[in-house]
């Protein structure tokens, strides 16, 4: 996911749609990459943005719109 992408969480409809407002990548080998998403409910939530990690935002239920 990249900054500006619109997303929705498949398990939490009450959050509404979200937009990726920040994307960070680790400069260290094997370090974390994450995204921050601002949802319509006014909350900003962070997710791991690495498909090689079992806790990745995709596996957690975040989908691009």
DSSP 4-47: T-EEEESS-GGG--EEEEEEEE-SSTT--EEEEEEETTS-EEEE
Is residue 24 within 8 Å of 37, Cβ to Cβ?
A: no
| Structure confidence at residue 63 (pLDDT) | 95
pLDDT tens-digit profile of 23-48?
A: 998 777 767 799 999 999 999 999 99
Place of tokens 């990745």: 56
The yes or no reply on domain 6-64 and CATH 3.40.50 is no
**pTM for this entry:** 0.86
Domain boundaries defined on the chain: 6-64
Residue 1: is its pLDDT beyond 90? no
């Amino acid at each position: 996911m990249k900054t500006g992408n619109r997303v929705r969480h498949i398990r939490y409809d009450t959050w509404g749609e979200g937009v990726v407002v920040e994307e960070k990548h680790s400069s260290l080998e094997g370090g974390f990459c994450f995204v921050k998403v601002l949802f319509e409910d006014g909350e900003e939530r962070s997710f791991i943005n690495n498909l090689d990690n079992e806790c990745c935002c995709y596996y957690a239920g975040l989908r691009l719109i």
